[in-house]
Amino acid sequence: MEINWTGPKKNQSGIAKAQAIIKQDFLRLSMDVNADNSESCTLMAAPRKHPESGEPQLYYVYSVTTKPQNGYLSETYQGSAILRFDQSAGGQISGNYWTSKHTSGHFRLFNKEPDK
């Protein structure tokens, strides 16, 4: 997973790599994200179809807990994203997000390449 982020202050931005673990059964859908500086878990995930195009989408609400480091304490905040599934891009899932910490950005999830 690639996370392009923009912070609340001018000139705060970057790209973070993370691992997303998506789980689904008949009644539930969740996505846990593990990055170097944080972990997140699903509060709500709802699959939908775009009302105009019919493309599959995922409405995703999550909670992030940062890992304490460099003298900073751990903190928790929430975020939301609308992700869309793009079959033409090899099944890539992507979309914009925003958080209660006044950050925003873009998620891009892609399948792990098989071990060769």
Model confidence, pTM: 0.85
5 phi, psi to nearest 5 deg: -125, 155
Please give the chain's pLDDT, 116 residues, in tens.
Answer: 999 999 988 889 999 999 999 999 888 999 999 999 999 999 999 999 988 888 889 999 999 999 998 888 899 999 999 999 887 767 789 999 999 999 999 999 988 654 54
- pLDDT, residue 114, reads 45
Cα–Cα distance measured from residue 50 to residue 84, given in angstroms and rounded to the nearest whole number: 9
Helices (H), the chain: none
